[in-house]
Amino acid sequence: MARQKATQSIQEFPLIRQLQRRHERKDPSIITGIGDDAAVVSFTATDWVVLTTDLLAEGIHFDLTTASLSSIGYKAAMANLSDVAAMGASPRFLLTSVAIPNSLRTADILALYKGFMSACRQYKVQLIGGDTSASQHGLFLSVTLLGTTERKKVLLREGARVGDSLYVTGTLGDSLAGLQLLSNAHEHGTGTARLPHADRKFLINRHLRPTARVREGQWLNQIGIVTSAIDVSDGLSGDLRHICNTSKVGAEIDISRLPLSPACRTYATSTNQDPSVLALAGGEDYELLFTVPETHRTRLERTAHQRNFSVTRIGHICAASFGIYCRLRNGRKKPLPVSSYEHFRTAN
């Protein structure tokens, strides 16, 4: 959510993208450059290399008065791990650049690095370098991750075809619910006091300690039937739009099929919210959204079951001319709102 806001406020970005594309020569070693979750390059006989970088700025992406340094470090690394997961690759090596304001103490910096490393350890990723500097104003982080994948084996945003089924791993909306619990931002109900402790803990943990779906991404890459994939970092609505734009298709999602955790349902009830709004609008769930041809649905669902991976079919791909719609519980269709949580609340 925060990342979307930041992007939208900078008018120069389309220009930069244009400029970058212009300078991205037709080099055969670049498989995918700017525009996917990560860049993919080829320079060895056996592997392709996946590279992704994320920049986090204080006051834009995080607020030191509400977020701990440890969770900022953890989430910065996890955002990159999720990008590599969405390519179906194995994350390997992390580099961190940190500009540190005078206001931070030694313990803060150690907490930040412990956050980086706590995320890396889960995936046996090595922190191999980086740069540190003073900052006159605010904390800035830039995290770069290198992953590898077998040659010609990679999941891209492009490739979704009309008729493909649209799937998502895990559950959606938990991270936004956790954020609302942390920030007491939700004014609809007064019921969160009655929310079971385990549910509260689960949702906050999903926000502060999300899990990148690295194993799931590698599995989707290996089975060879996935036509497109992305991680849900900006929110289902925004990320589905990326797949549709890149693949030049439309989509219809079925609101009643959105996978929701019991904790998210309980939270939504206790705060008088529609949980599907949380699922559509919430970012940072870091689940994988992907497409599979109709003919391979059974195979996908069977092997998911064997591996004990949760995947849910939430809709299908349509022609670009159809647009991007959601089918409501009453059977009516509505265009999928573009971005913010407020937008969803009024539109649904």
Residues 57-116 that bind a copy of itself (CB under 8 A): 57-61, 92-93, 95, 97-100, 104, 106, 109-110, 113-114
Using an 8 Å Cβ cutoff, are 90 and 59 in contact? no
How far from 209 is each of 92, 172, 245, 317, CA to CA, in Å? 20, 15, 30, 31
CB of residue 316 to a copy of itself, shortest distance in Å = 30
In the bound state with a copy of itself, the residue whose beta carbon lies nearer, of 44 and 272, is 44
Residue listed under structure tokens 């008065």: 65
170: left (phi over 0), alpha (psi -120 to 50) or beta: left
Q: Assess 234 for contact with a copy of itself (CB under 8 A).
A: no
Q: Residues near 101 by Cβ (< 8 Å), separated by ≥ 6?
A: 58, 134, 135, 136, 137, 138, 139
Among 4, 47, 257, 348, binds a copy of itself (CB under 8 A): 47
Among 1, 54, 177, 250, binds a copy of itself (CB under 8 A): 54
Among 4, 55, 159, 348, binds a copy of itself (CB under 8 A): 55
Among 19, 185, 198, 319, binds a copy of itself (CB under 8 A): 19
CB of residue 120 to a copy of itself, shortest distance in Å = 8
Q: Residues near 197 by Cβ (< 8 Å), separated by ≥ 6?
A: none
Residue 288 pairs with which residues in a beta bridge? 231
Residue 62 is classified by DSSP as B
CB of residue 58 to a copy of itself, shortest distance in Å = 7
Q: Which long-range contacts (CB under 8 A, 24 or more apart) does 193-201 make?
A: 194/270, 195/266, 195/267, 195/270, 196/266, 198/263, 199/262, 199/263, 199/266, 199/267, 200/263, 200/267
Give the count of residues interacting with a copy of itself (CB under 8 A). 73
How does DSSP assign 148-176, residue by residue?
EEETT----STT--TT-EEEEES-SSHHH
In the bound state with a copy of itself, the residue whose beta carbon lies nearer, of 131 and 294, is 131
Closest CA to 291 of 232, 240, 214, 226: 226
In the bound state with a copy of itself, the residue whose beta carbon lies nearer, of 6 and 328, is 6
* Residues present in the chain in total: 348
In the bound state with a copy of itself, the residue whose beta carbon lies nearer, of 151 and 302, is 151
CB of residue 51 to a copy of itself, shortest distance in Å = 6
* First CA to last CA distance, the chain: 18
Contact window for a copy of itself (CB under 8 A) among 31-39, 64-72, 202-210, 232-240? 31-39
CB of residue 204 to a copy of itself, shortest distance in Å = 25
In the bound state with a copy of itself, the residue whose beta carbon lies nearer, of 57 and 182, is 57
Among 43, 152, 308, 330, binds a copy of itself (CB under 8 A): 43
- Angstrom distance (rounded) from CA 348 to CA 339: 13
Using an 8 Å Cβ cutoff, are 32 and 135 in contact? no
Among 68, 122, 135, 348, binds a copy of itself (CB under 8 A): 135
**Window 236 to 275, contacts with a copy of itself (CB under 8 A):** none
In the bound state with a copy of itself, the residue whose beta carbon lies nearer, of 53 and 68, is 53
Contact window for a copy of itself (CB under 8 A) among 48-56, 159-167, 200-208, 258-266? 48-56
Both tokens of 152, joined, read 């010609």
Both tokens of 243, joined, read 């797949």
In the bound state with a copy of itself, the residue whose beta carbon lies nearer, of 36 and 164, is 36
In the bound state with a copy of itself, the residue whose beta carbon lies nearer, of 109 and 347, is 109
**Window 186 to 225, contacts with a copy of itself (CB under 8 A):** none
**Window 138 to 177, contacts with a copy of itself (CB under 8 A):** 138, 140, 142, 144, 146, 148
Among 1, 4, 30, 347, binds a copy of itself (CB under 8 A): 30
